[in-house]
Amino acid sequence: MNPDGIIDRNSSRLARRESIVFVAIVAATAAFIALVYTLAPIIERARLVERYRGPQSQWPALATPDGLYIEALAPLPARPDFPVDNPFSEAKASLGKRLFFDPRLSGSNQIACASCHDPSLGWADGRHKAVGHDRQLGDLNTPTVLNAGFKDRLFWDGRAADLETQVIASWSNPIEMAGIPEDAARQLGEVAGYGPLFTDAYGDPSITAARIARAIATFMRTLNTPNTRFDRFMRGEHAIFTAAEIRGLDLFRGKANCIRCHHGALLSDGDFHHLGTSVHGVGDYLGRYRETGAPEDVGAFATPGLRNIGRTAPYMHNGFGDGIDLESLLALYNMGWWQNAPPTEKVSDVPLARLSPLIEPLGLSRAELDDLAAFLRTLDGNSLYMPQPDLP
């Protein structure tokens, strides 16, 4: 026997055992690392959700471009402020409600405010573009009137500063109601039941266009949705958001950049931007430019508030696209919209529209887009369904 051989055999057995132990350790370490890698994002996400269940001061900081003012997200007050020259009264709001539903205001006696701002269609009309007097098709999508009393500038180009001005404008617009306010006021004076309602609201039965406008404006200031799930969450009911909704809120404030333009209690900056929704020479392609004449305002439209968007499709100033639902709209945001294709022929002296510098491709995954949509749906209010009131 060769003693060396025995030693050889023993040591090689030992070496084999050592290498098995080594492989086992490596495998266990690899498995552990893999587990940590899989769990870390899950733990991270759970921690993020927990942070959002705390006060807003503990939420992750916003990373927005320098100098951009961002108003904190907030619950909506129950009602907007009423102007000093048109204070709230129950009688005026109730008169305004009747007038809002009364087609006798219109030139044809057939179109009421409620024809286009229909309570059962989210107080909009469910159409791409509004159809008004004589079935004329307008260029613009009908916005909801819900929460409109909180806005500082009304209409897609912001040309009305208050609801009183807006009412007269919509009422006399030849492609909407085509009403002649003074004539309609005189005509309503002949309807027996209205006199006492004006007396309740204003102290005497005189019916004027301005009184009609003030009553309708008062009624609209009562049409608010301050109790959405979003509002309840923001008022401290932190348990009512699902984890997906909270992740969506985080994306809204962060990676998806929505907060750059949609912020505050209305989720609107009250400003105007061009996203690439209009095309030079087609429909209303001027937007805010018509009011300001500033080149950066060509094709810029008012940032809509996002409350009740689950109910107010089609979207955007022109109700653009066929079947563009909320999910498709998010897909467009995800790709960063597009610059207006230069027209083959410029049809006017109006400068070409420029995409807002605040719009960029987002790189959101399918799952992230779903989370974002889940968050946006928390902004839908209780249905403010209202049956047509009896008219005098």
- Which spans of this chain sit near ligand HEC (rule: CB under 6 A)? 100, 111, 113, 115-117, 130, 132, 138, 140, 142-143, 145, 148, 151, 154-156, 163, 166-167, 170-171, 176-177, 216, 220, 256-258, 260-262, 273, 275, 277, 301, 303-304, 306, 309, 312, 315-317, 329-330, 333, 356, 358-359
Nearest distance in Å: CB 330, ligand HEC: 6
Cα(32)–Cα(38) distance, rounded to whole angstroms? Answer: 10
Nearest distance in Å: CB 107, ligand HEC: 11
CB 156 within 8 A of CB 301: yes
CB 91 within 8 A of CB 97: no
Residue found by looking up tokens 């005497």 in the block: 204
Q: Which is nearer to ligand HEC, 119 or 138 (CB)?
A: 138
Nearest distance in Å: CB 286, ligand HEC: 11
Q: Which is nearer to ligand HEC, 93 or 275 (CB)?
A: 275
CB 299 within 8 A of CB 274: yes
CB 252 within 8 A of CB 375: yes
Chain centre distance of CA 22: 59
* One-letter identity of residue 188: L
Q: Which is nearer to ligand HEC, 74 or 355 (CB)?
A: 355
Residue 182 CB coordination number (10 Å): 11
CB 289 within 8 A of CB 299: yes
Q: Which is nearer to ligand HEC, 86 or 312 (CB)?
A: 312
> Nearest-CA neighbor of 218 among 92, 118, 123?
92
Nearest distance in Å: CB 40, ligand HEC: 26
Cα(56)–Cα(47) distance, rounded to whole angstroms? Answer: 15
Q: Which is nearer to ligand HEC, 52 or 262 (CB)?
A: 262
Cα(88)–Cα(82) distance, rounded to whole angstroms? Answer: 6
Nearest distance in Å: CB 26, ligand HEC: 45
Nearest distance in Å: CB 53, ligand HEC: 22
What's the token pair of residue 49?
């959700």
Q: Which is nearer to ligand HEC, 191 or 358 (CB)?
A: 358
CB 178 within 8 A of CB 109: no
- The dihedral over CA atoms of 165, 169, 170, 173, expressed in degrees to the nearest 10, equals 180
Cα(322)–Cα(316) distance, rounded to whole angstroms? Answer: 12
Nearest distance in Å: CB 133, ligand HEC: 7
Nearest distance in Å: CB 96, ligand HEC: 9
